[in-house]
């Protein structure tokens, strides 16, 4: 069973994501911000990270750079969630190492397909 780390500052949305993933057979970890997400990531080494890129505390691109600078976490695929429907920002996020960029609101089937596509094996 694969583990997904959800980094999302909106508690209700984080809960919804966790429930969707659990119904599909995934284990979930939840973090309200980047700092907590990095700590959980280093401790549990999830298979995938699904992260909102605009929580109130930090910049999403800086987070991606920081995550990829940590050897234990650098290999973990990241699915970025954002309210920004901006092609330039999307391209920067993908160039920064995200495997997928989804705009909120997104289709749940697309999110699940994205998660499955980045899982090893």
| Structural domains in the chain (count) | 1
- What is this structure's pTM? 0.95
Q: How confident is the model at residue 84 (pLDDT cuts 50, 70, 90)?
A: confident
* The pair of three-digit structure tokens given for residue 30, joined into one six-digit string: 């939840």
Q: How far apart are CA 30 and CA 4, in angstroms?
A: 9
Calculate mean pLDDT across residues 34-45: 95
**Confidence check: pLDDT of 38 > 70:** yes
User: Which residues make Cβ contacts (< 8 Å) with residue 56, sequence separation at least 6?
Assistant: 9
Calculate mean pLDDT across residues 2-27: 97
The closest of 69, 48, 61 to 96, measured between CA atoms, is 61
**Confidence check: pLDDT of 37 > 80:** yes
> Residue 107: which domain range?
3-118
Q: What letter does residue 76 receive in the DSSP assignment?
A: S
Q: What is the edge-to-edge ordering of all strands in the sheet holding 27-31?
A: 27-31, 3-7, 48-52, 78-82, 100-103
User: Which residues make Cβ contacts (< 8 Å) with residue 108, sequence separation at least 6?
Assistant: 20
Calculate mean pLDDT across residues 16-23: 98
CATH number of the domain encompassing residue 57: 3.40.50.2300
């Amino acid at each position: 069973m694969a583990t997904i780390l959800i980094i999302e500052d909106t508690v209700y949305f984080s809960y919804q994501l966790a429930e969707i993933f659990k119904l599909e057979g995934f284990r979930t970890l939840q973090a309200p911000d980047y700092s907590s997400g990095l700590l959980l990531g280093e401790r549990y080494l999830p298979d995938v990270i699904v992260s909102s890129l605009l929580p109130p505390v930090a910049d999403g691109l800086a987070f991606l750079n920081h995550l990829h600078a940590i050897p234990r976490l650098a290999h973990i695929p990241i699915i970025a969630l954002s309210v920004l429907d901006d092609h330039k920002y999307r391209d920067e996020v993908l160039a920064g190492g995200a495997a997928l960029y989804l705009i909120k609101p997104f289709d749940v089937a697309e999110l699940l397909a994205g998660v499955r596509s980045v899982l090893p094996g």
